[in-house]
Amino acid sequence: MPKVVPEVPDEGAVWSEQDTSPGAVEEALRRLLQQQHARDHAHAPARVLNLVVVVDREWRGEIMNRLEQVGRYHASRTILCTVERDRTTLDARVVLTIEDERQPGDIALTRERVIVEVGEKHLEKLDTIVDPLVVTDLPTVVWSPHGHPEAVDALLQLSQVVLIDSVNEPDLASAVRRAEELAAGAYVVDLAWLRTTPWRERVAATFDPPRWRRELGHIDTVKVRHRPDSGVAGVLFFGWLSSRLDWGPGSLMAANGSIRGRASGRRQDVTLTLEPDPNQAVPGLAGIEIGTASGVSISLDRGPGGLSARRRDPKGRELRWTILGASRGEGGILGEGIRQALLRDPAYRGALDCAEAMLR
């Protein structure tokens, strides 16, 4: 039997039902919103973004905690599909929450969270369960942090954006290939790519002054260090440089524990090196070093509170400084991923295409 539990006005309401159906969940959502509005006319549903999350049930708490840390980038309606191997029926729970504190007479936004417990048997047809639950005419983002590619594939026809983390794929080639497959039918937001944002921004800023900009055409070495499971972030960084500087992507090959290759620059070949750093504790990059044929080099290294930067000119003179607050942390990365669902970053697809060419 369904349960409707009215809460105090600032906490919204909760509904739950065992052995339910998508139609019953949709009806409960509509009824709770109507009841809440009729109660005090002070709440309006947020209408910006749907987020569909497919997660193994035993990790549901961890994923919900990560979603709580995204700050102001909460989705308007979050649909959490928790997967149990042998489950054959659907259980569901709907929770309405009120955003922020409000003063008397102010309108407050209501956000909706739907938790649907599904079995593995439901994943290939998950679109039939989720379809009645998304808010129509809003962008829909799909995120499946624990794999379940069949669920993502089923939801592609409902979604415009797929949120992925390429570091979760078993190897570099698989990571890039899967991202390319998804990008053929949806806009892809890759957390592995977003973790490189501070590094890309600082490299671009370093070469932006006219005095240093001409050195872009003389780059002949790029070395990237990364956490052992985050090599794809380094390959995407290589792909970004290749796409922006019009390099021929060349190829990458494993050699003595690292990955090496060459790209074809306009004036000379560029030596690429990708090395794992076992001391890197968080996902992403640990350091970057770029050298030019004229003797200029820049390096960025992850350090306490930001990035340690160094630049050496052709005469051997060095300048060192610290870039504070360069990292958003993993909570910030996920929040930025949700925000990017409403934006479009054309640089990613170019970097991805070049990365795919390097790994052929």
What pLDDT score does 270 carry?
A: 96
Task: Grade residue 5 by pLDDT with cuts at 50, 70 and 90.
Answer: very low
Give per-residue pLDDT as tens, 108-153. 778 899 999 999 999 999 999 999 999 999 999 999 999 899 999 9
Using alpha carbons, select from 177, 175, 204, 178 the residue that is nearest to residue 192: 175
Distances (CA, A) of 63 to 41, 82, 342: 32, 10, 21
What pLDDT score does 8 carry?
A: 36
Sign of CA dihedral 114, 28, 87, 136: negative
CB 141 within 8 A of CB 152: no
User: Looking at the DSSP assignment, which residues form a beta bridge with residue 50?
Assistant: 77, 140
pTM over the 0.85 mark = yes
Give per-residue pLDDT as tens, 298-310. 999 998 777 899 9
Residues in the chain: 360
Task: Grade residue 6 by pLDDT with cuts at 50, 70 and 90.
Answer: very low
What pLDDT score does 10 carry?
A: 43
